[in-house]
Amino acid sequence: MSTPDITLYTWPTPNGFKVSITLEELELPYKVEAIDISTNRQKEEWFLKINPNGRIPAITDGEQRVFESGAILLYLTDKYDKERKISYPPGTPEYYEQLGWIMWQMGGLGPMQGQANHFSVYAPVRSDYAIRRYVDETKRLYDVLEARLIESPFLAGDKYTIADIICFGWVRSSRIHLDFNLGNWPSLNKWFETISKRPAVQKGLKVPPPSKTEEEWKNILADARKRILSKENTDRY
C-alpha cells in the first residue's frame, strides 16, 4: 500500500461528510482544506483544477485528484481498505450490490433531496408544485431504503460499508432541513441510530467544525421553511 498524502477539500454538508466519515473509518491521515461554499471558494480557478465541477467534496492524494463523492469513496476503499473494513472486494456479488446503492444515492437520493431542501428552505420564491414534487420523491426514496433495510441490516449486505456511509449524511439532513420523522421508517431509523453511534461517524461529522449545533440548525431552517410558506405560491398553470 502506498503512503497516503491526502488533502480533503470540504465543508460541513451531507456530501462533505461522506468523505470525512470514510477517512475516519479507515483511520487514514489527512489534511483538511475548508472550502466555505457560501463565499463561492469552490468556484475559484485553483479549485477548479481539483474539481472542474466547482463543488465540494474533492480530494488530492499526492498527484492524483479525485472529485465526485461516489468516486472518492470507491478510490479510498480500492486503494486503502485492504482489510475490507467498510467495503466489499471488486468482482464479488456484494460489490455490485454496494455499487448499485452508491449509484442510487448519487443519481437519486442526493439530487432529489437536494432539490427538496432547496425549494423548502433556500428558494427566493414559494413553489408548492416544486416542494411537493421533490419532497414526495424524497419520501418515495426513503420507502426504498426502508424496504431494503427490512430485509438486510445494511444496504450492501450484512456489513456496514460505503453504501451506508454515502446515504447516512442525507438521511441525517432530512431531520434538519425537511423536519422528517424517521420513526415513519422504523428499519431506516434503527439503521440511522446504529450508524450515528459509530465513533468514526461522530468524528467525521466534525470535519470541518460546523459553526452551529444540530439543534441550532433545526431552528434556523424551521424559520426558513416558515418564511417561504408565508409567501404567496408562485405556481402558474
Ligand X SMILES: N[C@@H](CCC(=O)N[C@@H](CS)C(=O)NCC(=O)O)C(=O)O
Nearer of residues 13 and 187 to ligand X, judged by Cβ: 13
22 binds ligand X (CB under 6 A): no
Q: What is the C-alpha radius of gyration for the chain, rounded to an integer number of angstroms?
A: 18
The 196-215 site mask, x for binding ligand X (CB under 6 A), equals --------------------
137 binds ligand X (CB under 6 A): no
Instruction: Choose one: 51-59, 81-89, 193-201, 208-216; the region binding ligand X (CB under 6 A).
Output: 51-59
Return d(Cα 21, Cα 202) in angstroms, integer: 8
| DSSP 3-state of 140 | helix
Q: Which of 28, 32, 34, 68 binds ligand X (CB under 6 A)?
A: 68
Nearer of residues 114 and 153 to ligand X, judged by Cβ: 114
Footprint of ligand X on 101-120 (CB under 6 A): 106, 110
Instruction: Choose one: 48-56, 88-96, 128-136, 219-227; the region binding ligand X (CB under 6 A).
Output: 48-56
Interacting residues toward ligand X by CB under 6 A = 13-15, 37, 42, 54-57, 68-69, 106, 110
